[in-house]
Amino acid sequence: MAAQQPEANGEQRNRILGRGRFGLVFEGTWEETKVAVKRIEIERTNEREETALRQCDHPNVIKLLDIQDNIDFKYYVLEFCVASLDHLFSQETDPYRWPATQRDVCLQLAKGMAHIHEQRLIHRDVKPGNVLIWVDSTGERVLMKWADFDLSKPVSENGSHSISGSRGTEKWYAPEIYRMRMEEEENVANPIRPRGTVKSDVFSEGLVFGYYLLGGRHPYRGPNGPYDIPHNILNSIVNLNEIAQHPLYNIIMDMLENDPVERISSSQVVERISNI
Is 38 a known ligand-binding residue?
A: yes
Query: Is there a contact between 67 and 60 (Cβ–Cβ < 8 Å)?
Result: no
How far from 82 is each of 65, 228, 256, CA to CA, in Å? 17, 32, 29
Q: Which residues are annotated as a binding site for ATP?
A: 38
